[in-house]
């Protein structure tokens, strides 16, 4: 089995700030990980390393068994889909929805030849259909609601048929119905054996889709717990992670937590 991510004793230091401290984490092919932690824990930084957008200050990060610093990251990037709020700021408000998804293929196909164009267009249509956006493909990105934008971003991240999909807080800013729609779609994605390896970053337990298999909990750049969801998802680990005494509840494969009395 391919080791998709291997973080070994990773430190990330910026100025005097130690963002990640001696962090080790392994993700194997086919696993579905949720990364939980409070604001400022280092989740986005972790995802930037996994996306080959950043190098560690110390320690090693390997992606698809290639060590960052010893590999051409441009060879790895087509294998990785990334959806994050930071990337949305690069999408033009007047861009047609279909093109938002389609242009993700440019990097991969290199030249824009007609046979690629047809194949890519078909794939973009299919992804927009799967993510419930086919009726809006001629709209501009700027005219979409937050929930619709999130779905287009995920479709875009899937355009290169990645082997690893990284989702940074896809539920942020969504209303209750929008969040539930997203969780339902991510559940389908997680349960499909043909889907890429998944890593989902969130602050909220309600956003963990059933079908996710593992959890990494971090606080102040350090691992609190990592492993199969059934083993690590407990009140003790959550209370340590969020530095608040929490009570954990579980129903129909979903989680929620409230402050303990």
Ligand X SMILES: Nc1ncnc2c1ncn2[C@@H]1O[C@H](COP(=O)(O)OP(=O)(O)OP(=O)(O)O)[C@@H](O)[C@H]1O
- Is residue 41 near ligand X by the rule CB under 6 A? yes
23, 33, 34, 43: which one binds ligand X (CB under 6 A): 43
- Identify which range of 41-49, 128-136, 225-233, 243-251 contacts ligand X by CB under 6 A: 41-49
What mask of x and - would describe binding to ligand X in positions 193 to 222, judged by CB under 6 A? ----------x-------------------
Shortest Cβ distance from residue 17 to ligand X (Å)? Answer: 4
Element housing 187 (H / E): helix 176-191
- Is residue 14 near ligand X by the rule CB under 6 A? yes
Shortest Cβ distance from residue 107 to ligand X (Å)? Answer: 25
- Identify which range of 39-47, 112-120, 148-156, 173-181 contacts ligand X by CB under 6 A: 39-47
Residues in the chain, total: 261
Shortest Cβ distance from residue 163 to ligand X (Å)? Answer: 23
At residue 141, what are phi and psi to the nearest 5 degrees?
Answer: -60, -40
27, 33, 37, 49: which one binds ligand X (CB under 6 A): 37
- Is residue 90 near ligand X by the rule CB under 6 A? no
- Residue 214 structure tokens: 């593992």
Cα(86)–Cα(89) distance, integer angstroms: 6
Sole residue written with tokens 């389908």: 188
Toward ligand X, which CB reaches closer, 57 or 145? 57
80-83, strands of its sheet edge to edge: 80-83, 164-168, 197-202, 32-36, 214-219, 222-228
- Residue 11 structure tokens: 């430190």
- Is residue 111 near ligand X by the rule CB under 6 A? no
Helices (H), 42-175: 43-50, 73-76, 85-88, 97-102, 106-109, 114-130, 146-158
1, 39, 90, 94: which one binds ligand X (CB under 6 A): 39
- Is residue 15 near ligand X by the rule CB under 6 A? yes
Q: Is there a contact between 210 and 253 (Cβ–Cβ < 8 Å)?
A: yes
Q: Binders of ligand X: how many residues, by CB under 6 A?
A: 13
17-28, strands of its sheet edge to edge: 17-28, 3-14, 58-63, 66-67
- Is residue 171 near ligand X by the rule CB under 6 A? no
Residue ranges in contact with ligand X by CB under 6 A: 14-15, 17, 19, 37, 39-45, 203
């Amino acid at each position: 089995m391919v080791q998709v991510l291997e973080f070994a004793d990773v430190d990330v230091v910026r100025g005097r700030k130690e963002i990640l401290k001696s962090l080790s984490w392994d993700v194997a092919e086919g696993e579905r990980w949720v990364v939980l932690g409070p604001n400022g824990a280092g989740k986005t930084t972790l995802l930037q390393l996994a996306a080959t957008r950043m190098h560690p200050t110390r320690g090693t990060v390997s992606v698809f068994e290639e060590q960052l610093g010893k590999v051409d990251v441009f060879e790895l990037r087509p294998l990785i889909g990334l959806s994050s709020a930071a990337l949305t700021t690069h999408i033009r408000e007047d861009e047609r929805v279909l093109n938002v998804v389609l242009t993700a293929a440019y990097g991969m196909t290199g030249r824009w030849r007609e046979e690629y164009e047809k194949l890519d267009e078909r794939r973009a249509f299919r992804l927009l259909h799967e993510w419930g956006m086919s009726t809006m493909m001629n709209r501009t990105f700027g005219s979409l609601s937050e929930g619709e934008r999130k779905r287009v971003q995920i479709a875009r991240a899937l355009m290169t048929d990645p082997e690893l999909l990284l989702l940074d807080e896809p539920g942020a800013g969504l209303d209750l119905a929008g969040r539930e729609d997203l969780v339902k779609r991510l559940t389908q994605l997680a349960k499909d054996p043909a889907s890429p390896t998944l890593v989902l970053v969130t602050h909220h337990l309600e956003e963990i889709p059933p079908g996710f298999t593992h959890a990494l909990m971090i606080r102040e750049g350090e691992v609190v717990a990592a492993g199969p969801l059934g083993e690590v998802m407990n009140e003790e680990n959550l209370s340590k992670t969020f530095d608040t005494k929490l009570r954990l509840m579980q129903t129909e494969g979903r989680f929620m937590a409230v402050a303990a009395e």
